[in-house]
Chain A
Amino acid sequence: AQSVTQLDSQVPVFEEAPVELRCNYSSSVSVYLFWYVQYPNQGLQLLLKYLSGSTLVKGINGFEAEFNKSQTSFHLRKPSVHISDTAEYFCAVSRRVGGAQKLVFGQGTRLTINP
């Protein structure tokens, strides 16, 4: 079974500073990796995904993530954050078993941007 660990439950950052949200996963087989964002009082929205190919993936709102197979990590980064990036961020992993796919989420990281 796969699992996801988000190492930081809360990350406070000043506006225009860089940020990295950490995510590690465990799986003995190849997986697909995702980052979702949840703005206050809203549902989850896909930020970016890694399926195969280039290990650096770019998403919406200037975010990017790098898949590192040897370290089983998929950390999310943004070089300069904005107040509007305040949200909860979820890392997720899935793999296909036959015809089924189940997404397993980490506990989430609450990103707070301070002016």
Chain B
Amino acid sequence: GAGVSQSPSNKVTEKGKDVELRCDPISGHTALYWYRQSLGQGLEFLIYFQGNSAPDKSGLPSDRFSAERTGGSVSTLTIQRTQQEDSAVYLCASSFEASGANVLTFGAGSRLTVL
């Protein structure tokens, strides 16, 4: 597609429920990133996928968080047993990995509210 697409744009859930957030990257982009943007916390790196390599999961805050990327394209971020502190905007970005620096293209984000 023309840009990075994320869904849902808004999600309200009850504490303890599981949620799935979806990211559809730009066609042909080999790298995909998830970031979390919390009020007053800036952008926090969560996870990074690059081609067929093992993902860099070093930013996932707990084992309740997981992500997968199927067929090198669409990615799903899953949060199990949501907590109120999980409330944030979850941003997905993709880039075309090449030598040198990558420019990330961001989606509009999925705003998660845990009641």
Q: CA A106 – CA B45 in complex, angstroms?
A: 11
Contacts A49-B103, A94-B101; is A104 near B45 (CB within 8 Å)? yes
Main secondary structure of the interface of A (DSSP, over half): strand
CB distance from A50 to the nearest CB of B (A): 9
Q: Which residues of B contact A96 (CB under 8 A)?
A: 100-101
Q: CA A32 – CA B99 in complex, angstroms?
A: 12
Q: Which of B43, B48, B100 contacts A90 (CB 8 A)?
A: B43
Q: Could you list 5 examples of A-B contacts with CB < 8 Å?
A: A43-B106, A43-B107, A46-B103, A51-B101, A100-B50
Q: Which residues of B contact A42 (CB under 8 A)?
A: 108
Q: Which residues of B contact A (CB under 8 A)?
A: 4, 31, 33, 35, 40-43, 45, 48, 50, 53, 56, 91, 93, 97, 100-109
Q: CA A102 – CA B43 in complex, angstroms?
A: 12
Q: Which residues of B contact A36 (CB under 8 A)?
A: 106
CB distance from A29 to the nearest CB of B (A): 14
Whether the Cβ atoms of A49 and B101 lie closer than 8 Å is yes
- Starting from the known contacts A43-B106, A100-B56, 20 additional A-B residue pairs (CB-CB under 8 Å) come to A34-B103, A36-B106, A42-B108, A43-B91, A43-B108, A43-B109, A44-B93, A44-B106, A45-B106, A46-B104, A51-B100, A90-B43, A99-B50, A100-B53, A101-B97, A101-B101, A102-B33, A105-B35, A105-B43, A106-B42
